Amino acid sequence: MVDRLKGNLVVGQSGGPTAVINSSLQGVLEEAKCHPEIQGIYGMLNGIEGVLNENMIDLRKQPPATIKGLSSTPSAALGSCRYKLVPDDYAKILGVLRAHNIRYFFYIGGNDSMDTSNKISQAARKEGYELRVVGVPKTIDNDLKMTDHCPGYGSVARWAAISTMEAGLDTAAIWVVDKVKVIEVMGRDTGWIAAATTLGKRSEDDPPHLTYLPEVPLIPDRFIDDVKTVYERIGFCVASVCEGLKDENGEPLVESKRAIDTDTFGHKQLGGVAEYLSQLVMSKLSLKARFDKPGTIQRVSMMMASKVDLKEAYNVGQAAVKQAIKGVTDKMVTLVRAPGKIYHCSTGLVALEKVANVTKAVPRNFINKEGNGMTDEYRRYAMPLIGDPLPKYVKVKKVLIAKKVNS
């Protein structure tokens, strides 16, 4: 018999916003309203800091149109944070949860958020306070273990694929001036987003011609040789890179040295790899090189959101509430891909302790043997996640007429 625990619910969002994180929030809210044992439905403002500071809002008082509109609204509607709990925080958090009779705790986020959820659950258990804690996965980095993929990735992958196709057309048009372009996308420890820049390729000569991930150390001389090879073959080169590229010693190629650019989890702000590599090309090959670094806009593009991603983001939020009502706690909802050629994903569960602070790298068989591109295995994995087919851009055939003056 299911233990129908009565009490209030609180939900929060943490880490980098995405195009679909609000769909997960919508899933939580709409499912919560279906269960009479869930009384108050509260939202943490700016993640766990909202509980610490007792800044919570009554989500039952939101107009129905606002709840419905969450699925078409990017970024984090409740506000986000990057806050690492310290020992003194637990007593304060439990005090707030007790005061508001919060018995259901849902946190939408990535690795660090699952760690926060796990620690709060442990603290509640230690104090004998019944609290059902369920993590809702979210990260554009796609680096949560024990789940096939993460809500947020399909949309940023779609954005990366289309944006690279279009940036490649720009370079193909003006190659007589700009010979090399380096496109830098997000990704601290893994190269899942950089990998997605290749999904629009339909032939070897389609951009990006080269792609580099942190999973394979970047050797500058080898990079230069790769660029030279492509340039000599087609007259220009487009490379996509991840901001977290590592050198042979496993250290970031470029990272901020300023203390202000390091968050409470010890993560240093990355960025600048594309500029560094562009300068390298100009100095070593004497070719004009440009770089594109889109920054945070890539993770919240609703215009390029994947319909598959939106649906799955909603599903994991909904599943979290359903499982908590059944008595589940200390778990994160996962996406489980069914075997076979037809894509289908259902939801599952995994212990929070198995995903907290653990990173899933891009498998080596998804990266080509040269370390500068992706394989068909990756393409088969990622294409279903980006939703509708990518646009098809045409190429004008270069059928030259006979010269009459300069022959």
Longest Cα–Cα distance in the chain: 91
Q: How many Cα neighbours within 13 Å face the side chain of 390?
A: 27
Beta strands in 29-89 (DSSP E): 38-44, 56-58
Percent of the chain with pLDDT over 90: 92
> What are the tens digits of pLDDT across the range 27-53?
999 999 999 999 999 999 999 999 999
Q: What is the pLDDT of residue 357?
A: 87
pTM: 0.94
CATH number of this structure's domain 7-151+304-355: 3.40.50.450
Portions of the chain given CATH number 3.40.50.450: 7-151+304-355
Task: Point out the catalytic residue in the list 141, 292, 309, 330.
Answer: 141
How are strands ordered across the β-sheet holding 210-212?
210-212, 237-242, 180-185, 289-292
Q: State the DSSP code for 299.
A: G
pLDDT digits over 91-145, tens only? 999 999 999 999 999 999 999 999 999 999 999 999 999 999 999 999 999 999 9
* Whether residue 226 lies in the annotated active site: no
The residues of the chain that CATH labels 3.40.50.460 are 155-298+361-386
Q: How many CA atoms lie within 13 A of 109 on its CB side?
A: 29
Mean pLDDT across the stretch 261-282? 73
Instruction: Output the pLDDT for position 406.
Output: 77
> Residue 16's pLDDT is what?
95
The per-residue pLDDT of the chain, averaged, comes to 94
Taking only the tens place, the pLDDT of each residue in 371-406 is 999 999 999 999 999 999 999 999 999 899 999 997
Per-residue model confidence as pLDDT tens digits over 185-244: 999 899 999 999 999 999 999 999 999 999 999 999 999 999 999 999 999 999 999 999
Tens-digit pLDDT profile for residues 350-360: 999 999 989 99
Q: What is the CATH number of domain 155-298+361-386?
A: 3.40.50.460
pLDDT classification of 271: cutoffs 50, 70, 90: low
